[in-house]
Amino acid sequence: MSKAVIEVSGLHKVYEGAVPVKAVNGIDLTITEGEFTALKGPSGCGKTTLLNLLGGLDQPTSGSILIDGTDITALSDNELIDFRLHNIGFVFQAYNLIPVLSATENVSFIMLLQDRPKEERLVRAEQLLKAVGLEGKEDKRPGQLSGGQQQRVAVARALASKPKFVLADEPTANLDSESTSKLLDIMEQLNAQENMTFVFATHDDRVIAKAKRVVSISDGKVISDTAK
Amino acid sequence: MIFKVAWRNIWRSRIRSIIVLSSIAIGIWAGLLIIGFSFGMNNERTAAAIGATLGHSQAHSSDFLEDPSPSAIIAPEAYENLVAALEAQSFVTGYAPRTMLQGMVASAKQTRASRIIGVNAESERANTTIATYMLEGDFFETRVRKGVVISEKLAEKMGLGMKKKMVLTFQDHNGVIHKASFRVSGIYRTLNAAWDELNIYVQQKDVERIIGTSLIHEVLISYDKSEDTEEKTAAISANVALPTVITSWKQNSPELGFADDMMGIMLVLVLGIIMLALLFGIINNMLMAVLERRRELGMLMAVGMNKRKLFFMILIETLMLGLVAGPIGIVLGDLSVRAMMEVGLDLSTKKDGLAELGMQSTIYPEIVPEYYVIIAVMVIMTALIAALFPAYKALKLNPVRAIRGN
């Protein structure tokens, strides 16, 4: 049996205001190593909030989040930043690459933050860029790459830190069909070959179709959880 | 790689960076010119005053410093001891004894209060530059009995010219009042208008004949170099017994000494004001850079860039602005000062005003190397201070909101 990478129980996130908004309203969820999971649901259902909570970018109002056995809700700000650096990979909707750095430099930058040696950074960055099909584009800056290529650099960057899992928030939202298909193939391949755990927040049917497990969320609650 | 990122980030907004780099460079350039000209003006004024009238140091009886009355003389025995002390020091290149009398000078046109300086013409010429300031006649080179050298300004005011008669009235050391007529044998103009208006020169031997004895109130002392005047003064003082007192030019001309001492402080203040203006320019530039890159900074915080590294990145970026513009400004400033050292700054339209301050109408700047270091340190400090607020704003970003561009 695969080991649980993410264990969420009784998770609530309430945004206070004139009318408090229950963005996450009592979610229990376990994601095991090597899963390829899509969190689906309409805009405003709470899937991005859940993803942010899983990534330690936001603090829950109540409940616990265990990542590989560590309760990240108990970590201080600085501990959380360090935890993210070594355990979680992020892929954002808008790629969010550093425009002044080449593809290789963008991928190696995160390893620099981990204080890894230069040689190791370069070798791993080249390997990852090759794995996402960007061989020959290593020296290109984000502005010289298409949206799909940029998102593949972002995937390589997410994997560079050797995380326990990758969280991807609407990774295909800005991509055309061909780029989406290529990106999904690459992520599927990395999942299959390297047993890398992927969790997507998406409402893109193409991503949902590829996912091995689909968790449907509505009004901050899990309404269905289907494994294929 | 942080340095590479910082360097490339500077050039993301090329025009904005060029503007801020130019403002830093121009600020430094202007600072160096101000420093160069200030030192040039002050040193020229000081050197002229020391050369023409003050000497590097002076010896007096302590009574004279309290009240410059005719009786406050350096007694003959004390003078001999002083001469021995002066001749024992290798850095003393010469000395000139003076008789200093307060008196009245009268022409057919008017009567004025004046300071009558009785000089040994040869030693005065040897130890001061007064002879080079002669406009008419000479500084007692031509044998003339009871000649007086007055300034151009005094000559104009009193309606005097060469060979014209003027009557000097003064009191001797015993309180006896003497009155004698002299003829103008020379007209001078130093750079110090205030000095010119007050002082007239006669020969000591003429004074001696009038009052019947030799009186020495002041001995002007010249050194080989102008540096370390205070130490040299102290070295002579150690071998001279009271009541003879040795004082440096800074003590003898407190206004010049004060200007010399204050200039360093004033210049650092001026540089501080320049840096303050630059500070706000750099803060503005970096704040815009941080706010424009909210998404990117949010991403970096999300993926695990800790606050210390984020702060360091902003700091390096700001520091680089100073490190690029600083040397450019220093080189430009240095080249400009060197060029101006050749041609000088012609302020002849302000000639009279400058003369009142003891300055020439063409100002030549000087290179003051220690200020290059001061400026470099100030630029680095300014950049570091300027980084604080933008870095603080960056650290306060919420990664989730920043990634969304909010």
Structural domain includes residue B115: yes
B1 with A105: Cβ contact below 8 A: yes
Structural domain includes residue B242: no
**What are the phi and psi torsion angles at A193 (to 5°)?**
-80, -40
Q: Which residues of A touch B305 (CB under 8 A)?
A: 81, 85, 113
Please tell me the predicted confidence (pLDDT) of residue B399: 86
- Confidence check: pLDDT of A152 > 80: yes
Structural domain includes residue B308: yes
Are B90 and B211 part of one and the same domain? yes
> Mean pLDDT across the stretch A22-50?
90
CA distance, residue B268 to nearest chain A CA (Å): 39
> Mean pLDDT across the stretch A76-91?
91
CA distance, residue B404 to nearest chain A CA (Å): 9
Are B69 and B189 part of one and the same domain? yes
Are B172 and B263 part of one and the same domain? no
> Mean pLDDT across the stretch A17-21?
87
Of residues B385 and B254, the one with the higher pLDDT is B385
B9 Cβ under 8 Å from any chain A Cβ = yes
Residues 260-299 of B with CB under 8 A from A: 295-296, 298-299
Residue-averaged pLDDT of chain B: 87
Are B334 and B354 part of one and the same domain? yes
Q: Chain B residue with minimal CA distance to A78?
A: B306
Q: Which of A98, A113, A114 sits opposite B296 (nearest CB)?
A: A98
Are B148 and B89 part of one and the same domain? yes
Q: Chain B residue with minimal CA distance to A58?
A: B400
pLDDT in tens, B310-365: 999 999 999 998 999 999 999 999 999 899 888 888 777 777 777 666 666 777 88
Q: Please, how many CA atoms are within 13 Å of residue B119, restricted to the half-sphere of its CB? A: 27
> Mean pLDDT across the stretch A185-204?
87
B303 with A157: Cβ contact below 8 A: yes
Please tell me the predicted confidence (pLDDT) of residue B195: 83
Q: Looking at B225, B245, B272, which one is the last position of a domain?
A: B225
- Confidence check: pLDDT of A228 > 80: no
Please tell me the predicted confidence (pLDDT) of residue B3: 83
CA distance, residue A160 to nearest chain B CA (Å): 11
Please tell me the predicted confidence (pLDDT) of residue B356: 66
Q: Answer whether B86's CB lies under 8 Å from B235's CB.
A: no
Are B73 and B218 part of one and the same domain? yes
Structural domain includes residue B230: no
How many domains, in total, are found in chain B?
A: 2
> Mean pLDDT across the stretch B283-309?
90
Q: At what angle do helices B369-395 and B14-49 cross, to 10 degrees?
A: 150
- Confidence check: pLDDT of B405 > 80: no
- Confidence check: pLDDT of B43 > 90: no
Q: Which of B1, B4, B403 sits opposite A92 (nearest CB)?
A: B403
Are B28 and B137 part of one and the same domain? no
ω into A171 cis (within 30 of 0) = no
- Confidence class for position A103, pLDDT limits 50, 70, 90: very high
Task: Identify the CATH assignment for A4-227 out of 3.50.50.60, 3.40.50.720, 3.30.1060.10, 3.40.50.300.
Answer: 3.40.50.300
Q: Which residues of B touch A92 (CB under 8 A)?
A: 299, 403
Are B67 and B87 part of one and the same domain? yes
Residues 315-354 of B with CB under 8 A from A: none
Structural domain includes residue B245: no
Are B123 and B172 part of one and the same domain? yes
Q: Chain B residue with minimal CA distance to A160?
A: B303
B303 with A110: Cβ contact below 8 A: yes
Are B165 and B265 part of one and the same domain? no
Residues of A with CB under 8 A from a CB of B: 52, 55, 57-58, 78, 81-82, 84-86, 90, 92, 94, 96, 98-101, 105, 108-110, 112-114, 157, 161
Q: Which residues of A touch B11 (CB under 8 A)?
A: 100
Are B194 and B62 part of one and the same domain? yes
Please tell me the predicted confidence (pLDDT) of residue B7: 86
Q: Looking at B183, B207, B225, which one is the last position of a domain?
A: B225
Q: Which residues of B touch A86 (CB under 8 A)?
A: 304
Domain ranges of chain A: 4-227
Residues 37-76 of B with CB under 8 A from A: none
pLDDT in tens, A38-66: 999 988 888 889 999 999 988 999 999 99
Please give the structure tokens belonging to residue B202. 């006669």
> Mean pLDDT across the stretch B226-253?
83
Structural domain includes residue B238: no
Q: Which of B303, B306, B310 best tests the A interface by mutation, with the highest count of A CBs <10 A?
A: B303
pTM over 0.80: no
Q: Which residues of B touch A98 (CB under 8 A)?
A: 5, 296, 300
B241 Cβ under 8 Å from any chain A Cβ = no
Using CA atoms, how far apart are residues A124 and B225, in angstroms rounded to an integer?
68
Please tell me the predicted confidence (pLDDT) of residue A1: 57
Range of the domain at B206: 57-225
B304 with A110: Cβ contact below 8 A: yes
B309 with A85: Cβ contact below 8 A: no
Please tell me the predicted confidence (pLDDT) of residue B359: 67
Q: Which of A58, A86, A94 sits opposite B400 (nearest CB)?
A: A58
Are B11 and B129 part of one and the same domain? no
